[in-house]
């Protein structure tokens, strides 16, 4: 997982919140066979596409998926 929602700021009384483990990934990456997978829920608004940090994230993710850059998908503890 690269980005996640802050579980302390979510309303668990909302009927649309179904995760019991409070793990809400926003962006993640993983290896799949010989390939690489990147997923993000960001970028669905004009404001997010105008954000240079979001555009850089997608650009770097595309390079990683294509094998043009390295990056680990190994699990590590939350900070």
Q: How confident is the model at residue 3 (pLDDT cuts 50, 70, 90)?
A: confident
Residue 55, pLDDT > 80, answer yes
Q: How confident is the model at residue 19 (pLDDT cuts 50, 70, 90)?
A: confident
Domain that residue 40 falls in:
3-65
In a domain, 79, yes or no: no
Q: Do 38 and 25 meet the contact criterion of CB atoms below 8 Å apart? A: no
- What total number of domains does the chain contain? 1
In a domain, 9, yes or no: yes
Q: What is the mean pLDDT of residues 23-44?
A: 91
Angstrom distance (rounded) from CA 33 to CA 54: 27
**Range 14-50 burial, b when 16+ CB lie within 10 A, else e:** eeeeeeeeeeeeebebeeeeeebebebeeeeeeeeee
The confidence score (pLDDT) of residue 24 equals 87
In a domain, 32, yes or no: yes
């Amino acid at each position: 997982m690269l980005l996640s929602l802050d579980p302390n700021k979510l309303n668990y009384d909302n009927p649309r919140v179904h995760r019991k483990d409070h793990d809400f990934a926003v962006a993640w990456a993983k290896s799949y066979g010989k390939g690489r997978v990147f997923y993000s829920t960001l970028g669905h608004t004009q404001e997010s596409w105008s954000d240079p940090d979001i555009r850089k994230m997608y650009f770097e993710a595309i390079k990683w998926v294509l094998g043009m850059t390295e990056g680990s998908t190994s699990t590590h503890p939350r900070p």
